[in-house]
Chain A
Amino acid sequence: MADLNAIALAVRQGNRAQVLKLVDEALAEGVTAGEILDKGLISGLRTVGDLFSKNEIFVPEMLIAARAMQAALEKLKPMLVAAGQKPKGKVVAGTVKGDLHDIGKNLVCIMVRGAGYEVIDAGVDVSAEKFIAVAKENNSQAILCSALLTTTMPYMKTVVDQVKSGNLPFKVIIGGAPVTRAFADKIGADGYGADANDAVLVTEQLLLK
């Protein structure tokens, strides 16, 4: 009998071969791609995120877990499309204008994608206009802004202001080394993610509202 917990465990261990083997077995037994995604893959990566937040695992373990999940997701994608299953939501992520640091942004993309969202990576040095254009073009629900520098952090307010003044339907979630919850509140951001896992939790909270 298919063991979705075993798939979650294999994701947690970053064991790509084992994840793919167990996914094949589950499919052969008639488990739907949607169930495998929700109860196996996403569940496994959620555990990874929790362990990362508690400093019980570190970035390498998180990355290989995400890679194992991604390999299975590629296999399941045609079945998910055929079954009409859509991603939980769509978000745009990028590092704000003037800032070329992409480590934090990339980790956020990996974890939010792993939680079942479609993530459009807008790259680095992203202007407010570009964030908004990409969000509109892709019918996104949220804009995730990253900054490493104290000098680029204030640009997040520009993004927030343009979204609000345009009365646009995008939640703006911010994070990065110098960014704090107090700063997020001060500039009127909708959410603040303290790390990549927190970005997932905040995205879920805001998009499920």
Chain B
Amino acid sequence: MDATDIRAIIAGYHPQSDLTVLPQLQRWEGKLTARERYRRVMNFEPVDRLPNYEFGYWHECYAVWQSQGMSKAVIDENRANIYFGFDEQLNIGLHYGLQPPFPTRILEVKPDGRKIVVDGDGVTCEVFSDNASTIPHYIDWSLKTPEDWKSFRERLDPKSPERIPANWSHRIEQLKRRTCPAGIYFGSLPGWVRNWMGFEGICMAIHDYPDMMEDIFHRLTDVIVGVLERMLPGTDFDYAYGWEDISLRSGPIIAPSYFKSVLLPCYKRITDVLHRHNISTIYTDSDGDISLLIDPWLEGGLNTFFPVERAGATDPVELRKRYGKRIRMIGGVDKMALREGPAAIKAELERLAPVAYEGGYIPHVDHRVPPDVTYENYLYYLDLKHQLFGIPKLC
């Protein structure tokens, strides 16, 4: 499969994309395919060089960096990936959400373009009109009581036909010819529920409605497992990915004991299906300090952590010391170093290099790059990353 085919698949998942941007940076050389390299790194096996990926960018970066010299053709992440010469990978999403979604409506349009809307999760929020990277301002949550849960539960039927993507068997056949790694999405448990209940809502509900909360997590697991069971036969994915975002800088939102007693069995059910389909790299995305959740996640069958946020007090060097080769990591380069400049960037990458050379670790910026990082600093970072991790036979 060549790059054009890959782009066709990407375009299939992002129909708005018109990927006409030309690369500014050459793709790192190498003898292995991106897929072979990814699988080897995650198995702690020797590679020609490390994979070259990045988390992404705040939307504001494109305008700011264009004013600092970046091509004006780079207006989204797909184009940025090509422009910066990153390796390809395919993340395949599946539909585990509410089906049907709640009816969306616009309640108010403000003079500055902000809108008060009810979204597909039934949540009332204020949204910006300019693609700004900030979150919506949440005004009212849709899931508060067991009575509310009834209408959510009806929308979480694992057998809903809408959950099956069109042309799935054709896509599977296309994917089999790939030379880049591909991952399958497995959704979220408490992270998703937080989007329906709010941060304080989920915290209170764990105490006020413990039975409802357990039912929510088990029902979501039923949907995820049910969809995966239908979609995974005949596939050969290299990894599986989900998200949670359930930690603050001071630690997890939910007590690890609750996590272990209620959520761990749910994760086990999900990862059992993934393991049965030979997916060995399984990660979830959670910012903040996740250190107290790593043990229950490992026990639940996950083995890879992303984006290892340094501002969230999570550090690849410390995690490797503590867990050795039991864990894999993706991310972990402190975005604050990119704000500071070349000396800080160099110190940060050199600090992480020994962990990267051991394997089981793909270094990149620990979250989306914010627009207060200059384009010059970002190019310096990419260049140094190439020198440290991208020259064949060094890793």
Contacts and interface: CB of A to CB of B under 8 A. Distances in A.
Interface of A: 14, 52-53, 55, 57-61, 63-64, 67, 98-101, 103-104, 106, 124-125, 149-151, 154, 177-178, 194-195
Identify whether the interface residues of A are mostly helix, strand, loop, or mixed: loop
Given A98-B134, A101-B135, A149-B370, A60 B207 contact: yes
Interface residues of B, number: 31
Contact of B199 (A57, A100, A103, A178): A103
Interface in B186-206: 199-200, 203-204, 206
Given A58-B255, A100-B137, A150-B335, A63 B200 contact: yes
A103 B203 CA distance: 12
A177 B370 contact: no
B204 A150 contact: no
Contacts of B135: 100-101
25 contacts: A55-B250, A59-B199, A59-B253, A60-B203, A60-B206, A60-B207, A60-B254, A60-B255, A64-B207, A99-B134, A100-B134, A100-B136, A100-B137, A103-B199, A103-B248, A104-B248, A125-B137, A150-B336, A151-B60, A151-B370, A151-B372, A154-B372, A177-B248, A177-B249, A195-B250
B1 interface: no
Nearest to A198: B250
Contacts of A194: 250
Contact of A58 (B253, B311, B372): B253
Contacts of B288: 177
A150 B370 contact: yes
A62 B336 CA distance: 30
B128 to A, nearest CB: 9
B296 interface: no
B251 interface: yes
Contact of A59 (B60, B203, B339): B203
Given A177-B311, A177-B312, A178-B311, A55 B292 contact: yes
B56 interface: no
Contact of A63 (B203, B250, B251, B336): B203
Nearest to A175: B249
A21 B60 CA distance: 54
B252 interface: yes
B336 A178 contact: yes
A187 B109 CA distance: 37
Nearest to B198: A103
Contacts of B136: 100
B371 interface: yes
Given A63-B200, A64-B207, 12 more contacts: A53-B250, A59-B253, A98-B134, A106-B199, A124-B137, A150-B370, A151-B58, A151-B372, A154-B372, A177-B311, A178-B336, A195-B250
Contacts of B250: 52-53, 55, 194-195
A106 B200 CA distance: 9
A58 B251 contact: yes
A185 B266 CA distance: 45
Nearest to B250: A195
Contacts of B251: 55, 58
B102 to A, nearest CB: 22
Contacts of B335: 150
Nearest to A64: B207
